[in-house]
Structure 1
Amino acid sequence: MPTGFVLCADDFAITAGVSRSILELLGRGKLSATGAMTSRPHWRGLARELGAFAETADLGLHFNLTCAAPLGAMPRLAPGGELPALGIVARAAVLAPAVRREIAAEFRRQLDAFEEALGRPPDFVDGHQ
């Protein structure tokens, strides 16, 4: 790849198949970065394999507030344990300070999960959707 060119695949850990494909592309040198969803069930089992690419690719946190379950309790934003659609998240974040506090706590949990698994902070942070 030319210098300065970045090809990033988001959604690492969203499913085992997506993650395996990203690992294969990283191994072939076809990707220069990936963002990991540390709140997804496949994260723990695949993080070590992803960590092997720390010297050859940028590994980031793909912060998730809209897909499946959060890592911790979010009684206002996700009272049933499932994260809502993006429009609901955005509206609640604008209108409710308590929701913003829940989002900040969830961000910390997802960041901690990345750092605990890989032993270092992410190279970048972006967001799902």
Structure 2
Amino acid sequence: MADPGARSIWLIADDYGFSPGVSETIRTLLETGRLSGTGCMTLFDDWRDHARALAGTDGRFVIGMHLTLTDFPALSTGRTMPDLKRLLANHDAEAIGMEADAQLARFRESFGRDPDFIDGHQHVHFLPPVRQWLAGRFADLPTAKRPWLRGAPTLRAAPALVKAKVIVARLLARGFDAEMRRHGFVVEGPLCGFYDWRRPGAFARAIDLFIDRAPDGSVVMCHPGMVDDVLRRRDVFTDARNEERDALASEDFPQRLESASLRLKRAAS
């Protein structure tokens, strides 16, 4: 008999393709069943190498597109994209649509299909121009053939120190879930996984909170990796990725899920 208290969540690693160490770590966690899937950053020059390795990885997991619209050279123009603050203040719908098209085309070229889901680096998929792009780009597909979307955040499983950050993300996502469902998308969530990654050891404490409090059906984002020179050049979020890797790879992790009657969602077989 099924446990009436059982829950299931999507545990999704963001940033596949960010650096060799990040991608290798995510592939290992996928192969060992510690993740539900990963979201891909397809805009970097070395993307095709990462894509080939992921295509050869065994396991039942979903592969999505982690749309990236900030800080890095745009795939569509080669010009450096604005930081998040400038993007929020002045977003160019045409430029965003062109870049989203370019990153999606790269995904399709690598895997021969659309992503299983779409979300956004720094939550940019919540922006109005991205909502418009999504509604238009997939308008001709039935719901069952569209990527699902990562929905708005919840405060329910958020550590106290990051609740203000979650509230900002909720404001950015205001109306997103209902709007995109009206456009025929499946929206999964709510989103969990926020924690103060600047504090050493914070993820080990936060993962217990996510396991105990994440609502059924949640999408829990994570960012495991192995710090390498490429990651150091591209991001300030470094050492905490090692901590996430170690926590998710530990022998205790599956036992902790089982004790909480929590199951990781998987790709359809």
* TM-score of the two chains, using structure 1 as the length reference: 0.83
Question: Which residue of the partner structure matches residue 85 of structure 1?
Answer: 83
- Partner of residue 59 from structure 1, selected from 51, 57, 63: 63
Tell me how far 1:53 sits from its aligned partner.
Answer: 4.7
More helix by share: 2
> For residues 26 and 62 of structure 1, do their structure 2 counterparts lie closer, same or farther at Cα, with a shift above 3 Å needed?
same
The Cα offsets for residues 80-129 of structure 1, whole Å up to 9 and x where unpaired, read as x2122101111111xxxxx2101001000000100110111000000001
Structure 2 gap segments, 5+ residues each = 1-5, 123-269
- Which residue is 1:71 aligned to? 75
1:125 corresponds, among 118, 126, 129, to: 118
Give the aligned partner of residue 17 of structure 1.
21
Looking at structure 2, the residues matched to 55 and 116 of structure 1 have their Cα atoms a distance apart, in angstroms, of 21
* C-alpha separation in 1, matches of 2:7 and 2:60: 13
By how many angstroms is 1:45 displaced?
0.6
Are the structure 2 counterparts of residues 4 and 57 from structure 1 closer, same or farther at C-alpha, using a change threshold of 3 Å? same
1:62-88: per-residue Cα shift (whole Å, max 9, x none)?
Answer: 0001131110117xxxxxx21221011
Taking a change above 3 Å as real, the CA distance of residues 44 and 92 of structure 1, as seen in their structure-2 partners, is: same
Question: What is the root-mean-square deviation in Å for CA atoms of aligned residues?
Answer: 1.8
Compared with structure 1, are the counterparts of its residues 58 and 3 closer, same or farther at alpha carbon in structure 2 (3 Å cutoff)? farther
Q: Which residue, 20, 24, 34 being the options, matches 2:38?
A: 34
Q: Which amino acid aligns with 2:97?
A: A
1:78 corresponds to which residue? none
In 1, the alpha carbon distance for the partners of 2:50 and 2:106 equals: 13
Contact 2:31 2:59 in 1 (8 A): no
- Percent of pairs identical after alignment? 38
Which has the larger Rg? 2
CA distance in 1, matches of 2:80, 2:58: 31
Structure 2 CA distance, aligned partners of 1:105 and 1:55?
Answer: 33
How high is the TM-score relative to the length of structure 2?
0.41
Aligned to 2:12: 8
AA of the residue aligned to 1:87? K
In 2, the alpha carbon distance for the partners of 1:114 and 1:54 equals: 19
Q: For residues 4 and 114 of structure 1, do their structure 2 counterparts lie closer, same or farther at Cα, with a shift above 3 Å needed?
A: same
Distance 1:6 1:113, change over 3 A: same
Question: After the TM superposition, which residues 90-101 of structure 1 pair with which residues of structure 2 at under 5 Å, given as runs?
Answer: 90-93=88-91, 99-101=92-94
Q: Residue by residue, what CA displacement relative to the aligned partner does 1:32-66 show, whole Å, maximum 9, x if unpaired? A: 11000001233211102212358611100000011
Distance 1:42 1:25 in 2: 21
